[in-house]
Protein backbone atom coordinates (compact mmCIF):
# COMPACT_ATOMS: atom_id res chain seq x y z
CA UNK A 1 0.00 0.00 0.00
CA UNK A 2 1.53 3.32 -1.04
CA UNK A 3 2.12 5.86 1.68
CA UNK A 4 1.40 9.57 1.74
CA UNK A 5 3.05 11.30 -1.22
CA UNK A 6 4.10 14.91 -1.10
CA UNK A 7 5.45 16.95 -3.98
CA UNK A 8 7.77 18.64 -4.47
CA UNK A 9 10.35 17.51 -1.90
CA UNK A 10 12.31 20.75 -2.01
CA UNK A 11 11.46 24.29 -3.02
CA UNK A 12 13.44 27.51 -3.04
CA UNK A 13 11.47 30.73 -3.37
CA UNK A 14 12.03 34.42 -2.77
CA UNK A 15 10.06 36.78 -0.57
CA UNK A 16 6.77 37.87 -2.02
CA UNK A 17 6.29 34.85 -4.23
CA UNK A 18 3.62 32.22 -3.71
CA UNK A 19 3.88 28.46 -3.57
CA UNK A 20 1.58 25.45 -3.92
CA UNK A 21 2.34 22.13 -2.27
CA UNK A 22 0.60 18.87 -3.10
CA UNK A 23 -0.35 15.83 -1.03
CA UNK A 24 -1.80 12.47 -2.08
CA UNK A 25 -3.11 10.53 0.92
CA UNK A 26 -2.98 6.80 1.53
CA UNK A 27 -5.62 5.03 -0.55
CA UNK A 28 -8.90 4.95 1.37
CA UNK A 29 -7.93 7.82 3.67
CA UNK A 30 -10.26 10.78 3.46
CA UNK A 31 -8.86 13.05 6.18
CA UNK A 32 -5.81 15.13 5.27
CA UNK A 33 -3.99 17.42 7.68
CA UNK A 34 -1.17 19.87 7.07
CA UNK A 35 1.54 20.88 9.54
CA UNK A 36 4.46 23.27 9.61
CA UNK A 37 7.61 22.12 11.41
CA UNK A 38 10.38 24.49 12.44
CA UNK A 39 13.21 24.00 14.96
CA UNK A 40 11.86 26.71 17.24
CA UNK A 41 8.11 26.03 17.17
CA UNK A 42 8.00 22.30 16.55
CA UNK A 43 5.06 20.75 14.70
CA UNK A 44 2.19 23.20 14.31
CA UNK A 45 -1.22 22.36 12.89
CA UNK A 46 -2.25 24.31 9.81
CA UNK A 47 -5.60 22.82 8.73
CA UNK A 48 -7.54 19.61 8.20
CA UNK A 49 -9.78 18.58 5.32
CA UNK A 50 -12.38 15.86 4.93
CA UNK A 51 -14.70 15.42 1.95
CA UNK A 52 -13.45 18.65 0.42
CA UNK A 53 -14.38 20.62 3.56
CA UNK A 54 -12.02 22.32 5.97
CA UNK A 55 -13.06 21.10 9.41
CA UNK A 56 -10.40 22.79 11.50
CA UNK A 57 -7.79 25.48 11.12
CA UNK A 58 -4.74 26.38 13.18
CA UNK A 59 -3.53 29.80 14.17
CA UNK A 60 -1.86 30.89 10.94
CA UNK A 61 -2.42 34.02 8.85
CA UNK A 62 -4.76 34.02 5.88
CA UNK A 63 -1.76 33.74 3.54
CA UNK A 64 -1.91 30.03 4.27
CA UNK A 65 -4.77 28.28 2.54
CA UNK A 66 -5.64 24.85 1.36
CA UNK A 67 -8.16 22.75 -0.45
CA UNK A 68 -9.11 19.15 -0.98
CA UNK A 69 -10.32 17.50 -4.14
CA UNK A 70 -12.96 14.82 -4.61
CA UNK A 71 -10.27 12.11 -4.77
CA UNK A 72 -9.00 13.27 -1.33
CA UNK A 73 -5.81 14.75 -2.73
CA UNK A 74 -5.00 18.06 -1.12
CA UNK A 75 -3.03 21.19 -1.87
CA UNK A 76 -1.86 24.00 0.32
CA UNK A 77 -0.93 27.45 -0.88
CA UNK A 78 1.17 30.12 0.76
CA UNK A 79 1.01 33.58 -0.76
CA UNK A 80 3.31 36.56 -0.29
CA UNK A 81 6.07 34.42 1.15
CA UNK A 82 8.06 35.69 4.10
CA UNK A 83 11.46 34.60 5.39
CA UNK A 84 9.74 33.07 8.42
CA UNK A 85 7.81 30.69 6.19
CA UNK A 86 10.96 28.64 5.69
CA UNK A 87 10.07 25.29 7.19
CA UNK A 88 9.29 21.64 6.58
CA UNK A 89 5.66 21.31 5.52
CA UNK A 90 4.16 17.95 6.35
CA UNK A 91 0.98 16.34 5.18
CA UNK A 92 -0.64 13.49 7.08
CA UNK A 93 -3.63 11.33 6.30
CA UNK A 94 -5.99 9.17 8.32
CA UNK A 95 -9.10 7.20 7.48
CA UNK A 96 -11.76 9.62 8.68
CA UNK A 97 -10.32 11.86 11.36
CA UNK A 98 -7.02 12.94 12.96
CA UNK A 99 -8.31 11.17 16.08
CA UNK A 100 -7.44 7.96 14.24
CA UNK A 101 -3.86 6.90 13.44
CA UNK A 102 -2.39 9.52 11.15
CA UNK A 103 0.53 8.83 8.80
CA UNK A 104 2.92 11.44 7.46
CA UNK A 105 4.44 12.01 4.08
CA UNK A 106 8.12 12.83 3.63
CA UNK A 107 7.38 16.56 3.61
CA UNK A 108 8.26 19.51 1.45
CA UNK A 109 11.29 21.53 2.55
CA UNK A 110 10.58 25.17 1.68
CA UNK A 111 13.40 27.70 1.78
CA UNK A 112 12.76 31.41 1.34
CA UNK A 113 15.62 33.60 0.19
Partner 1 sequence: QKEVEQNSGPLSVPEGAIASLNCTYSDRGSQSFFWYRQYSGKSPELIMFIYSNGDKEDGRFTAQLNKASQYVSLLIRDSQPSDSATYLCAQGRNNRLAFGKGNQVVVIP
* Site residues (vs partner 1, CB under 8 A): 31, 33, 35, 42-45, 48, 50, 55-56, 58, 88, 90, 92, 97-107
Could you tell me which of 64, 48, 53, 41 has the C-alpha nearest to residue 99?
A: 48
**Minimum distance from residue 68 beta carbon to partner 1 (Å):** 13
SS3 83: helix
CA angle 56, 52, 103 (to 5 degrees): 65
Of residues 18 and 68, the one with the C-beta less far from partner 1: 68
| Residue placing its CB nearer to partner 1 in the complex, 15 or 103 | 103
Contact 47, 56 (CB under 8 A): yes
Which CB sits closer to partner 1, 14 or 100? 100
Q: How far is the CB of 100 from partner 1 (least distance, A)?
A: 7
Amino acid sequence: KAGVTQTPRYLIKTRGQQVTLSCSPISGHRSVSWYQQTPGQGLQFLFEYFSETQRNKGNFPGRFSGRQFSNSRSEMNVSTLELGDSALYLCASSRDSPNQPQHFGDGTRLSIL
